[in-house]
Amino acid sequence: MDATGDVILVQGGGSVAATRQTSRTMKRTANLQERLQEKSQAVGERADAVVAPLHGGAGGESELADKAGKSQMLEDASGNNVSLMWTMLRAMLHETSTQLMDEQKKMLERLWDALMGNQRMTTQMMGEQLEMVRQLQQEVQAVEESRKVDELRRLHEQFTRQLRVMREQMSEQIRTTREQTTEQLKIIREQIARNFEQMRLQVMKEVGIVQGQAAEEIRQAKEELKQAREEMQQAKEEISQMKEQLNTIAGSISSGAQTSPQPSYADVARTPPTSQPSNVRTLSSMRITPSSFTDTLFCAIDTSRVSEEDRGKAQVGEVRQAIEEKVRAREGGQPNWRCAAVVKDVRNEDRIKVVCRDEAELQLVREAAERTMVKGVRVLRDQLYPVKVDGANRTAVLDSSGNILPGAAEALGKENVVTIAKM
């Protein structure tokens, strides 16, 4: 609110003039705006939801439970901040109203003092003129018998006329001053009322903005809490799947340890170069990765090229929600379809794995991910993994010239339940 000033001028009796100037400055609402902005920033602070890598066991479950509790605490803190801001706004509004009333009262007192000072000056001037009239009367009485009686009488009449004119002028000036003072007081009251109404509307508008922001923060906190619960459920499912996989791996290792013993040097030496020994294990028994582990299908999504402002859209929960919505929206799709599991790669934090149930679901997830991902996200293709196999019979893979036999790659891939790209 800009500063305003009022000036009152009162004139009377020749060169006599009284001037009084009052200045009134309204406090700005910058402090109120700064406080509201500080409270909005305090309400806007919240913790980013990050799903920690699963290391197995009950550790992942406890971390997700802690994040869910933090989201609940953020929701309670937002409600407390809104109540505190309401209390501060009421106190500031009451303080501003009291200050405006005090300034109005001081201005009225200054105007009244100026009016009374003008009246005192007028009374003093009239007393001085009356004293002059009495002196003239004495002079007239002293020289009644002289030749100046007529002139003195004329002067007396002239002074009387001047006094009457001065009285009329003074009365007119007093009346004009009163009217001006009344009009100025009316204008001041209207201006104060307008300023107070503008301040009230501005405060209500800012309070509405703060309430909207607080409601949005509470809604986001609820969504994050819901997402944390879903991720906790996913983590439980993934832990159970990992336990099953570990059990399967342990069974495969134990069964592989019970295979036939290694042939001796004499047995190998007696074996003809063109025949296949019966006691040598086949390539299928020397697989490095168990079939239960390689059968797990997943779609790999790379987020390393996503910009910092879009990082929030490339998290595990957002990726899962986007893929599920796209798959459900397909024509003839399942309205209640859900991903089997969506986790971060333990070895690479910038990669997300979407576990699929079968090949058809894998293809469906890839198509949905390519259409719904944000800028910078890439859907990775099948990657090749080098595998070295020891103890295989060369005659089953290579001919006498050292070239790979036709159909050897297909046979080995079928036997080991893998796709061999290059040998």
* More reliable by pLDDT, 157 or 330: 157
Q: What is the pLDDT of residue 168?
A: 92
Whole-number pLDDT of residue 389 = 67
b/e map 352-364, b = 16+ CB within 10 Å: bbbbbeeeebbeb
Residue 348 has pLDDT above 80, yes or no: yes
pLDDT for residue 278: 44
- Structure-token match 């901040």, residue found: 81
pTM: 0.29
Identify which of 321, 380, 381, 320 has the alpha carbon closest to the alpha carbon of residue 350. Answer: 380
If you count DSSP H runs as helices and E runs as strands, how many of each does the chain have, helices first?
Answer: 8, 6
In angstroms, rounded to a whole number, what is the distance separating the alpha carbons of residues 10 and 111?
Answer: 11
What is the rounded CA–CA span in Å between residue 198 and residue 338? 53
pLDDT digit string (tens) for 200-258? 898 888 888 888 888 888 988 888 888 888 888 878 887 877 787 777 777 666 655 45
**Domain extent listing, the chain:** 4-232, 295-384
Query: Mean per-residue pLDDT for 96-111?
Result: 88
The whole-number pLDDT of residue 57 equals 43
Model pLDDT, residue 31: 59
Give residue-wise pLDDT tens across range 300-336.
888 888 888 888 888 888 888 888 888 888 867 677 8
Q: Which pLDDT does position 14 carry in this prediction?
A: 40
What kind and span of H or E run contains 17? strand 17-24
How far, in Å, CA of 279 to CA of 50, rounded?
53
Instruction: Report strand pairing: 341-344 vs 351-356.
Output: antiparallel
Residue (of 193, 215, 202, 199) closest to 79 by Cα position: 215
d(CA 257, CA 177): 116
**Read out DSSP for 184-232?**
HHHHHHHHHHHHHHHHHHHHHHHHHHHHHHHHHHHHHHHHHHHHHHHHH
* Proportion of the chain above pLDDT 70, given as a percent: 65
Q: Tokens 């168990």 correspond to what residue?
A: 290
Query: Is residue 281 very low, low, confident or very high in pLDDT (cuts 50, 70, 90)?
Result: very low
Q: In the predicted model, what is the mean pLDDT of the chain?
A: 73
Mean pLDDT of 177-196: 90
Q: Are 103 and 34 in contact (CB under 8 A)?
A: no
Measured over the CA atoms of residue 102, residue 108, residue 112 and residue 115, the dihedral's sign is positive
Q: How far is CA 62 from CA 241, 353, 377, in A?
A: 18, 22, 30
Measured distance CA(140)–CA(199) in Å, rounded? 70
pLDDT above 80 (res 10): no
How far apart are the C-alpha atoms of 207 and 202, rounded to whole Å?
Answer: 8
In the chain, the largest separation of any two C-alpha atoms, in whole Å, equals 180
- Total Cβ atoms within 10 A of residue 259: 10
Residue 165 pLDDT: 92
Between 91 and 383, where is the model more confident? 91
* Poorest-pLDDT segment among 6-15, 73-82, 272-281, 404-413: 6-15
Backbone angles phi, psi at 298, to 5 degrees: -155, 155
Q: Which tens digits make up the pLDDT trace of 113-147? A: 888 988 888 888 888 888 888 888 887 777 677 77
Predicted confidence band at 19 (pLDDT cuts at 50, 70, 90)? very low
Per-residue pLDDT, averaged over 365-371, amounts to 85
With a cut of 50, say whether residue 274 has pLDDT above it. Answer: no
Q: In the predicted model, what is the mean pLDDT of residues 49-75?
A: 51
Q: Give the pLDDT confidence score for residue 291 in this predicted structure.
A: 40
Question: What is the spatial distance between Cα 327 and Cα 339, in angstroms, rounded to a whole number?
Answer: 10
**Confidence at residue 28, expressed as pLDDT on a 0 to 100 scale:** 44
Distance from C-alpha of 181 to C-alpha of 50, rounded to nearest angstrom = 69
pLDDT of residue 190: 92
The fraction of the chain above a pLDDT of 90, given in percent, is 3
Highest mean pLDDT among 32-36, 37-41, 189-193: 189-193
DSSP string, 151-165: HHHHHHHHHHHHHHH
The topology under which CATH files domain 295-384 is Alpha-Beta Plaits (3.30.70)
